[in-house]
A = this chain, B = another copy of it.
Amino acid sequence: MTEAGIWFGVDYYPEHWPKSQWKADVKLISEAGFNVVRLAEFAWCRIEPSPGRFDFSWLDEIIGELAEKGIKAILGTPTAAPPPWLVKLHPDILPMSYQGHRMPPVARRHYCPNNPNYLRATERVVKALAEHYKDEPNVIGYQIDNELSLGDEYCYCEHCVQLFREWLERKYGDIDELNKAYGTIFWSHEYGDWTEIHPPTPPFDRCNRGLALDWLRFRSESFIKFLELQVGIIRSVSPDKKITTNLMGLFPGIDYYELSRLLDFPSWDCYPKFRHVDYDPAWVAMLHDATRCMGRDRSYWVMELQAGPTDGYHGHPIGVTPEPGELRKWAYQAIAHGADGVIYFRWRTACFGKEQYWHGILNHDGEVNRRYLEVKRLGEELEKVKDLVAGTKYRSNVGLVFSYEALWSTLIEEGYYTMSYHDQVLSLYKGFWLHGINVDVISPNEDFMRYNVLLTPFLYLTNRSLITRLKKFVYNGGILIATARTSVKDEYNRVHSDGLPGGLMDLFGMKVTDYTCLPAERRASILMEGRVIQAVGWLEELTPSSAQVLGVHDYEWLKGRAAVTVNRYGEGYAVYVGSFPSSDIANHIVKVLIKRGIIKPLVRVEGDHLELTVREGSHYRVVFLINHEGRDKSVKLYFAKAFRIKGLLKGGTSHGDKHEYELELGPHDAEILYLEE
């Protein structure tokens, strides 16, 4: 889907504004350089104003107006917000809390994805939409629903309970198999038949661990099935249209890697400053890298990119306003990580509804402002660089494993919830990000053999297959870096009963023989190659069999015991860090890997708050360089070999005989360097 080079667009809600406004909107949209808009994702009540009566005339009209300017459309299926008539007709579509309360229909997402009435209504509206636009060339594809999800407590309606029991029966066959897998003998929970099973209720911390994990799996699958229903309808009606859905980074409710297999490409909603006064750009980078890797062919879009301040939140009436330069910078960050499309949310700020302060590019008054001018400048730049950029791909030989099952296992436990799995993964990621090393953030089901280095931070839960594949990876020459609490749990969310790391003691050449949580009030260090590295949250005593000790504890009763080990296994090495992965630890490990030549960065940059990625073309490369600070900077780059270099945005060139390149960056500025040997 790269006929546009780079898809550059905006989310537009024409139905929020009088028709008299449309022409002026389309003109400004076109002048900004946008070549695509997303439409109609919350317009069910307009598309189907009463049961079975459809009206696409208004949508046809705006699609036509846009087409005149050469702007394509992506249509949202409208199922994220069932209209009032549907709620009145079928109140049972409302999700039910475990205490029996129906979710009030006051906002959006007020439906149970397993409710038969909702499924029927969904089928009808999606089919009508697909049929109506199957021959419309200006509709290039569909976004299914919007930010698929449900709150923590939902849904425990009779359909969900019944389907869950059936799901369990299909999985375990015999109730005694389930009893064994869960260890229901604990606290006398042994079931006599499937109807005795109640879904676990929040806080899940109180519940059987196996049951809770299966419930999270079931809930994730419920949404994937709901999406599959819609994908099936659209594919059968108009197989040529592209299908995506807008994800929310590494949202914990649904296994996005599984879900994305059904899509032509995934997309995500990127709001760096939502709820963050000082956000971490590495966090945003990691979500780009994850979404890209969810795509079947590493292709993805940003479907919503922050275009202004967001809604308020605790203590802040409105989110902090993006500074001059940030909107442009965020778009370049997306492209730097491989995005094929970047769509700002939204065109003009809504004056009503719930999200009055989820600002678009334009403010409520619809006048050209500094944000519009910034985006327009970006549009002009993209027009110039798009062909060169579109011909490249983001590639990496470092794979970082993000496991939804590991995540879920931690979410079920009270304490781990605050020792956030996401934070631990980010810490290790950041060690590489700081060095400008491309990283893939992958599912545990990914083919590991694509990588030289594999990072498995806090890989709390494993299964037999994963254990085997990790061993095979290292045996064949890979470098594996794991941290504390690796393979504690098996696929039934039981603790491995034969020692930790479960099933991997031979791979790491050691056993975890003691451990303690390290409360925030206490400090502990690991001594490693003459350096004092701060440990975080957890300490393990490692007892090596074949492994070498790389670092030892410096903490009370653990002083001197092994804290970091490395083990030769086949052709590769398996490193184990007996603490949670602080950025400090990760940073140190990357330095060791570079020093040993295992990782060979193409380019190095000096200075803080700079991000650097590389995209590779047939015979050239482009390097993206981003200044994440609101102040000017002189930057110097050091290349691994000599290149001819051209600055695509700021001009500037360097002949092919130098390993260095210097440039000036403004606040929140970006540059794309074209490299040829």
State in angstroms the CA–CA spacing of A197 and B317 once bound together: 28
A370 contacts B314, C-beta separation under 8 Å: no
State in angstroms the CA–CA spacing of A207 and B353 once bound together: 7
Chain B residues with Cβ below 8 Å from A331 are none
Nearest CB on B from A496, distance (A): 7
A185 contacts B15, C-beta separation under 8 Å: yes
A354 contacts B78, C-beta separation under 8 Å: no
Chain B residues with Cβ below 8 Å from A187 are 42, 81, 107-108, 353-354
A352 contacts B208, C-beta separation under 8 Å: yes
Q: Is A191 an interface residue (CB 8 A)?
A: yes
A186 contacts B42, C-beta separation under 8 Å: yes
Q: Is A318 an interface residue (CB 8 A)?
A: yes
Q: Is A465 an interface residue (CB 8 A)?
A: no
A369 contacts B497, C-beta separation under 8 Å: no
Given contacts A81-B188, A497-B364, contact A354 B207 (CB under 8 A): yes
State in angstroms the CA–CA spacing of A516 and B277 once bound together: 11
Flag A547-571 by CB within 8 Å of B: 1 or 0 each. 0000000001100000000000000
A354 contacts B186, C-beta separation under 8 Å: yes
Q: Is A152 an interface residue (CB 8 A)?
A: no
A206 contacts B105, C-beta separation under 8 Å: no
Instruction: Tally A residues with Cβ within 8 Å of B.
Output: 110
State in angstroms the CA–CA spacing of A652 and B39 once bound together: 80
B99 contacts A101, C-beta separation under 8 Å: yes
Flag A205-231 by CB within 8 Å of B: 1 or 0 each. 111111100000000000000000000
Chain B residues with Cβ below 8 Å from A312 are 205, 413-416, 517
Q: Is A9 an interface residue (CB 8 A)?
A: no
A497 contacts B351, C-beta separation under 8 Å: yes
B183 contacts A16, C-beta separation under 8 Å: yes
Q: Is A494 an interface residue (CB 8 A)?
A: yes
Residue in B closest to A522 when the chains form the complex, CB atoms: B277
Flag A347-359 by CB within 8 Å of B: 1 or 0 each. 0011111111100
State in angstroms the CA–CA spacing of A16 and B324 once bound together: 62
State in angstroms the CA–CA spacing of A43 and B184 once bound together: 11
Q: Is A45 an interface residue (CB 8 A)?
A: yes
Q: Which of A84-92, A236-244, A525-533 contacts B (4 or more CB under 8 A)?
A: A84-92
Given contacts A187-B107, A418-B315, contact A320 B516 (CB under 8 A): yes
Closest 8 CB pairs of A and B: A312-B415, A186-B353, A183-B352, A321-B516, A317-B415, A84-B196, A81-B188, A45-B190
A interface list, Cβ under 8 A from B: 15-16, 42-46, 49-50, 78, 81-85, 87-88, 98-101, 104-108, 182-192, 195-198, 200-201, 205-211, 277, 309, 311-321, 323-324, 349-357, 364-367, 369-370, 413-416, 418-419, 485, 492-500, 513-517, 519-522, 537-538, 556-557, 630
Given A314-B418, A351-B496, A366-B497, 5 further pairs, Cβ under 8 A: A42-B188, A45-B185, A88-B196, A107-B206, A319-B517
